[in-house]
């Protein structure tokens, strides 16, 4: 087998500058520094170089050159990801899609929008508002995160319980393959023949192709929307109340939970009027016609009181509703007010295990000596524990990382999974060996090879090498035996 030729940074830069504005082929370390990580700033790496193309044809040419020389390519949107999925490869190219930021078309009759991948999530709804429409998935970072990144991670948001994740709200994507071919997956129809490649691309974390265009579904704005805020004196009661609401036949537009640490931090920031004495808080939004909202709100208020709520309050205006959600959506950055650093986890569990998992996390918090602020999508069991730590204290991040790994292992133990919307990236790659066996992981590798034979797209992310998994399982087994012996002699 003949080895592919190698290309230096200077040679690659020269090739790219032949068709991309030289100012946007970046090779100096100072200018590349902002690209060394995404929102998961504890995992960093400097790239070989950065390119910012502005047309799909330029992306094609970048990919053809990188494929020829087997240069790794990491696609990057706004850099708001929380699993180090956009962390550069030290021998590779960061392909930034920041210039792909145009809303190409909104069709109010078909209720669709055609977008470039760099369009911000919130900008879609802002533009569609003139037609009485909006885009359903609304991550907390929607003011900054992009639709391309949402596709890569299959993002959800506070309203995903009723309106679904990204995969449920897109019709098609245009993508550039590893070899530089331009293809469209999906269609405007309700269904297409053959395998569902659109679902495969959604959540693929840049491992299978570079998205250059997305067509999304738009929803009509509901006639009425109100939020019930219920405070509880224990996280267990709040967790049990989640199942109680849904089992009663009410499907909220959003059902979110926050614990005591998050309540205080978010309320200090947003002045949302949260019950600061509560140990847990539920925000339950009901939307629809005036009649059904009025009926479901009354049922929700009564159910929360019956299930142990210490306080119940319902928004009486659109401004009050927006303020309650502002507190929730600003909870992540607000937690920075009570800790120098925090580590945002992302796992999903069956709803019936919410109270159990939250209590187990409290025990782990004491074991590791680290506080946890819980903010999450309670309705679909998507947890977002924020482990509070100080990176300036030697060994504290390593202890935090171990704590996070234990939380993800617990999610798997109760029948859940290690991610809900943040992806695997680098952060959770070890836990893939807990979630899947070798045969299942091999299937992932086979799919990856079908789309990317040379393995140049975001290598080292998402799916671990089987040898790595075997080594990790061996270490976990040894640690488990060590812990068991210690407990026996404790």
Confidence at residue 475, expressed as pLDDT on a 0 to 100 scale: 67
Query: Is there a single domain that holds both residue 191 and residue 290?
Result: no
Q: Is residue 373 part of a domain?
A: no
List the one residue out of 13, 144, 7 whose CA is nearest residue 82. Answer: 144
Q: Determine the distance from the C-alpha atom of residue 431 to the mean position of all C-alpha atoms in its chain, rounded to a whole number.
A: 16
Which residues are within 8 A (CB) of 345 and not within 5 positions of it... i.e. 6 or more apart? 383, 384, 385, 386, 387, 404, 407, 408
**How far is CA 214 from each of CA 146, 202, 242, 368, rounded to the nearest angstrom?**
11, 11, 34, 43
Query: Is there a single domain that holds both residue 185 and residue 202?
Result: yes
Strand, coil or helix: 55? coil
Indicate the number of domains in the chain: 4
Query: Is there a single domain that holds both residue 108 and residue 215?
Result: yes
Q: Give the CA-trace dihedral at 418, 420, 425, 431, to 10 degrees.
A: 0
User: pTM of the full predicted structure?
Assistant: 0.93
Query: Is there a single domain that holds both residue 28 and residue 83?
Result: yes
Cβ burial, residue 308 (10 Å; 0-12/13-18/19+): middle
In what helix (H) or strand (E) does residue 292 lie, and over which residues does it extend? helix 290-306
Q: Is residue 350 part of a domain?
A: no
CATH of the domain at 181: 3.30.465.10
Q: Which of 281, 301, 334 is the last residue of a domain?
A: 334
β-pair partners for 175: 183, 211
Q: Is residue 424 part of a domain?
A: no
Query: Is there a single domain that holds both residue 176 and residue 229?
Result: no
Query: Is there a single domain that holds both residue 109 and residue 199?
Result: yes
Query: Is there a single domain that holds both residue 253 and residue 202?
Result: no
List the one residue out of 145, 5, 13, 125 whose CA is nearest residue 67. Answer: 5
Give me the tens of pLDDT residue by residue for the chain, a chain 490 residues long.
Answer: 456 678 999 999 999 999 999 999 999 999 999 999 999 888 999 999 999 999 999 999 999 999 999 999 999 999 999 999 999 999 999 999 999 999 999 999 999 999 999 999 999 999 999 999 999 999 989 999 999 999 999 999 999 999 999 999 999 999 999 999 999 999 988 777 889 999 999 999 999 999 999 999 999 999 999 999 999 999 889 988 998 998 888 999 999 999 999 999 999 999 999 999 999 999 999 999 999 999 999 999 999 999 999 999 999 999 999 999 999 999 988 998 899 999 999 999 999 999 899 999 999 999 999 999 999 999 999 999 999 999 999 999 999 999 999 999 999 999 999 999 999 999 999 999 999 999 999 999 999 999 999 999 999 999 998 876 767 666 665 665 544 334 333 3
Domain residues for 180? 103-220
Q: Determine the distance from the C-alpha atom of residue 232 to the mean position of all C-alpha atoms in its chain, rounded to a whole number.
A: 28
Q: Which of 311, 334, 357 is the last residue of a domain?
A: 334
Query: Is there a single domain that holds both residue 136 and residue 197?
Result: yes
List the one residue out of 423, 487, 448 whose CA is nearest residue 39. Answer: 423
**How far is CA 229 from each of CA 189, 297, 333, rounded to the nearest angstrom?**
39, 11, 21
Query: Is there a single domain that holds both residue 216 and residue 272?
Result: no
CATH of the domain at 70: 3.30.43.10
Q: What whole-number distance in Å separates Cα of residue 205 and Cα of residue 209?
A: 9
Q: Is residue 426 part of a domain?
A: no
Query: Is there a single domain that holds both residue 149 and residue 206?
Result: yes
Which residues are within 8 A (CB) of 163 and not within 5 positions of it... i.e. 6 or more apart? 136, 137, 169, 219, 253
Query: Is there a single domain that holds both residue 123 and residue 79?
Result: no
User: Is residue 58 within 8 Å of residue 76, measured between CB atoms?
Assistant: no
User: Is residue 343 within 8 Å of residue 374, measured between CB atoms?
Assistant: no
Query: Is there a single domain that holds both residue 121 and residue 186?
Result: yes
Q: Is residue 169 part of a domain?
A: yes
Residues composing the chain? 490
CATH of the domain at 238: 3.30.70.2190
Residues 163, 165, 166: CA angle, nearest 5 degrees: 115
Q: Is residue 33 part of a domain?
A: yes
Q: What whole-number distance in Å separates Cα of residue 81 and Cα of residue 465?
A: 22
Radius of gyration of the chain (CA): 23
Residues 144, 148, 151: CA angle, nearest 5 degrees: 110
Q: Which of 334, 355, 380 is the last residue of a domain?
A: 334
Q: Is residue 420 part of a domain?
A: no
Q: What whole-number distance in Å separates Cα of residue 214 and Cα of residue 104?
A: 10
For residue 57, what are its two tokens? 């044809």
CA atoms in the 13 A half-sphere facing the CB of 417? 9
Q: Is residue 416 part of a domain?
A: no
User: Is residue 148 within 8 Å of residue 166, measured between CB atoms?
Assistant: no
């Amino acid at each position: 087998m003949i080895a592919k030729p190698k290309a230096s940074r200077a040679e690659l830069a020269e090739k790219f500058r032949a068709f991309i504005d030289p100012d946007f082929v970046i090779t100096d370390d100072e200018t590349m520094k902002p690209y060394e990580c995404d929102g998961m700033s504890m995992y960093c790496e400097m790239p070989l170089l950065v390119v910012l193309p502005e047309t799909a044809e330029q992306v094609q040419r970048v990919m053809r050159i990188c494929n020829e020389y087997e240069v790794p390519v990491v696609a990057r949107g706004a850099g708001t990801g929380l699993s180090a999925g956009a962390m550069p490869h030290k021998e590779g190219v960061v392909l930034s899609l920041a210039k792909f930021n145009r809303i190409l078309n909104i069709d109010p009759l078909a209720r669709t929008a055609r977008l470039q991948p760099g369009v911000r999530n919130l900008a879609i709804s802002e533009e569609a508002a003139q037609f009485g429409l909006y885009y359903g998935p609304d991550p907390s970072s929607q003011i900054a995160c992009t639709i391309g990144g949402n596709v890569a991670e299959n993002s959800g948001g506070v309203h995903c319980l009723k309106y679904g994740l990204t995969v449920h709200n897109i019709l098609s994507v245009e993508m550039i393959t590893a070899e530089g071919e331009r293809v469209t997956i999906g269609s405007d129809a309700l269904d297409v023949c053959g395998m569902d490649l659109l679902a495969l691309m959604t959540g693929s974390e840049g491992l299978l192709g570079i998205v250059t265009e997305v067509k999304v579904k738009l929803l009509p704005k509901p006639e009425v929307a109100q939020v019930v805020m219920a405070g509880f004196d224990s996280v267990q009661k709040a967790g049990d109340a989640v199942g109680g609401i849904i089992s009663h036949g009410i499907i909220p537009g959003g059902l979110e939970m926050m614990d005591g640490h998050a309540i205080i931090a978010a309320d200090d920031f947003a002045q949302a009027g949260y019950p600061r004495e509560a140990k847990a808080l539920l925000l339950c939004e009901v939307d629809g016609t005036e009649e059904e909202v009025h009926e479901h709100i009354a049922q929700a208020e009564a159910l929360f009181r019956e299930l142990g709520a210490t306080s119940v309050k319902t928004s009486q205006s659109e401004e009050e509703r927006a303020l309650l959600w502002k507190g929730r959506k600003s909870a992540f950055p607000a937690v920075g007010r009570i800790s120098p650093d925090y580590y945002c986890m992302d796992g999903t569990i069956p709803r019936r295990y919410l109270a159990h998992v939250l209590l187990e996390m409290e025990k782990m918090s004491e074991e590791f000596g680290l506080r946890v602020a819980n903010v999450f999508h309670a309705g679909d069991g998507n947890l977002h524990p924020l482990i509070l730590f100080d990176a300036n204290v030697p060994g504290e991040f390593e202890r935090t990382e171990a704590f996070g790994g234990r939380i993800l292992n617990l999610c798997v133990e109760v029948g859940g999974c290690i991610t809900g919307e943040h992806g695997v990236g680098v952060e959770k790659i070890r836990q893939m060996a807990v979630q899947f066996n070798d045969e299942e992981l091999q299937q992932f590798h086979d799919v990856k090879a079908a789309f990317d034979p040379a393995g140049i797209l975001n290598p080292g992310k998402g799916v671990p090498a089987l040898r790595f998994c075997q080594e990790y399982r061996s270490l976990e087994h040894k640690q488990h035996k060590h812990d068991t012996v210690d407990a026996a002699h404790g």
